[in-house]
Structure 1
Amino acid sequence: MFESLNDRLEKAFINLKGQGKLTEINIAQSVKEIRRALVAADVNYKIAKEFTDKVKDKALGQENVLTSVKPGELMVKIVQDELAELMGGEAAEIDIKGNPGIVLVAGLQGSGKTTFSGKLANYLRTRKKLNPLLVACDVYRPAAINQLQVLGEQIKVPVFTIEDNKNPVDIAQKAIAHAKSNNFNVIIVDTAGRLAIDEEMMNEISNINAAIDPTEALFVVDSMTGQDAVNTAKAFNDVIDYDGVVLTKLDGDTRGGAALTIKYTVGKPIKFTSAGEKMDTLDVFHPERMAQRILGMGDIVSFVEKAQEQYDEKEAKKLEKKIRKNKFDFNDFLNQIGQLRKMGDLKGLMGMIPGMGKLTKNLDIDDSAFNKVESIIFSMTPEERANPEILNMSRKRRIARGSGHNLHEINMFIKQFDQMKKMMHMMSKGKGMGNLANMMGGGNRGMMP
């Protein structure tokens, strides 16, 4: 995510390396490169110029201040603060008050609108402990209703539909009545999209908006469309005056222009970001954390939050005892892989760990990264999984045949497992149980993901 922008911004700070302090000359050089980086990321030139003027003014204000902070680090901090401010400053909560709360979801076709509706329902059910109802109001796209029903079944959320009814306003109004009489405290109305903005589409979304008076109207934007997404967001806002923006497909080759400038252009906050097709890959948008990620600083707070969602205190204590006694085995490792899978996109997670994003950006890392490891462990007997020390040459050969790997790969995996086990044991003595980042030790040189 934002790899290209991150690379360009890094080059902008190179001028300050080895410099004793910020000066008008080196500030000007860096600011010029920052502006070029933003324009290359599909940020409107006027916005980029205004942004870099602010950065320049703040940097010049530090020009004669004696500080132990290096000039490059100081400039990074200034840019980080300004990026966060440009994207909204602080996280904006979704408003779901009401009986029921009504969320209207709008956007162009292909923006990820229906998938987001499912993710939002899952988010409200699992994290907010609400009882959501999905409402299928896309009466034009043949597969839209079926897609929503499949998602609803997957996340255990019912979907309200009316067969052969082609009036989305009528469907939405009847869904509200159904929700009130069946104790649903929030409904999510998935509306039709079009391939492009047209008068018919705008009239329809305007009529639905007026008829149901949503507590929250959200506009879904494909972040890969850059500045076009910003223009579309403005057009929709003029019609329905929505409450917030959702950026989808952040796991794709996105340049960053939409994320950086929608708040500035439309005046509405980004409330959620979405990556991938999995129903648990929806995140509240935190401008300050996104600024850190854009600058390659990771987002350890979000990483910890995701880990805590899967955290089982009882199991963690049992695991910590095993690590302290140096009894961590292959069954424990399988359980930890399962926890990582539940946390979401693996490459995205690694990008949250400071320094890891740069190491993994050119690597093809996804959920299948663990498949090789799992195939080896699944080829072991229960006794071998629980007692790694009994793996002699004969057993390794049998595991190699069963898993479809050669003996060298088996030996490499077991060696890396032993190294990881020792490192975790050492950490447990001095600093408590190692965190999930340490579970990813071993690098990409061998079998470990």
Structure 2
Amino acid sequence: MGAQAKAKILVVDDERVHRFMLHSLFAEWGWDAEEADDGSTAVAAVERGPFDAILMDVRMTTMDGMEALKRIHALNPAIPVIIMTAFSSVDSAVAAIKQGAHDYLTKPLDFDRLRTTLEVAMGHRQRESQTMAVGQPFGDDGRIIGTSAPMQELWEMIVHVAPTEATVLINGESGTGKELVASALHHTSLRSKGPFVKVNCAALAETLLESELFGHERGAFTGADRRREGRFVQAQGGTLFLDEIGETSPGMQAKLLRVLQEHELQRVGGQETIKVDVRILCATNRDLEEEVAAGRFREDLYYRLNVVELWVPPLRERHGDIPLLANYFLQSFADKNGRMVSGITPECMDVLNRYPWPGNVRELEHSIERGVILMRGDYLDLAALPLAIQRWAGLNAPKEVEEPATLKEAERMLILKTLEETGGNRSEAARRLQITRKTLLNKLKSYNIS
């Protein structure tokens, strides 16, 4: 590894002479400095890119340090902010600490303490190997994490709809957390004490899906050596979540419609009519209105399922939630892998905030998991993230790619590239390639792509 780049510090003060003095001092200490004359200017600087630390005055003309701290923390909470204040305004500095400032210093500054405080704040720049401590289990409590406006609206809808018996259609791109929304609907409903049963409709062929949902009698087909209750019966008194409902065949759609209308079913190969009391939640990453218009999805079933529609926003539309999610996953995977972590470097957090996340929350989760496993120090940095993100950030130049010699090779390369762009999400890759998920799985098998 080459020599480490100089530390980059943002000095925020409306006194030009004081800024110049600090700029010169940091240059003597071997650090780079950028100046801002107001809180608003500082926020704009952070929007352009990360800093290793920010040294900021409290009292400024247009935007004071407290408001700037709040906005900077929302943009990139990994950047340590050190507040400067007159001795008579220590109360303001204490308030800033409560709002997330790393530390505060009183004017006139003690240069020895200033340097020590900055060095401690920039501890994320140290890359030495650390002794790993065994972490306590974090646990997956199923929380919906996010404070952005789209997520607040979603949560308000969940709270409003959950206590009802309405069938809910959960829409959203792959990897956005539709299953988590379904779980929240169940666990805040009047059926919360009943079972929550999940079925991925895209994972099974039609005949197997029918048996999975409705059950079968002994001898109904080859291998049916005993009676089996289906998922509808298993979910009795609770909630049945049908994921990727848009992937079902017309025949299966007709059978599902009958169960929804009559609240009864028959096992495969059976004559007995079984009454079911189940609330249905569905999810899809397809536009079912378009599927109906194209004749691929039954209109009557669509209206049965779409009593209430919830939209789970993609991660690119809720950027303010990325730091919350990243730190949640960081701690979770650190504990699961027995790693001691201190946080995420500002440069890394800046890239996480700017990256478009085609694979949504699932891609972010997998990226942080990989980072925790490969990180060398106690701070997650860019070098531990997936290569696709590093290349997007310009950390590594893309490799030279040979021109495909055949049509099959071109198709194989296109599939691999699309899977990389979607973080390995096959449903999203199939959508982008404009083929069915089943067709994509067959092609992966034929090209020996795991």
Task: Please say whether Structure 1 and Structure 2 have the same fold, judged by a TM-score greater than 0.5.
Answer: no
Structure having the higher Rg: 2
TM-score by length of 1: 0.31
Q: Which structure dedicates a bigger proportion of its chain to helix?
A: 1
Q: Which structure dedicates a bigger proportion of its chain to strand?
A: 2
TM-score by length of 2: 0.31
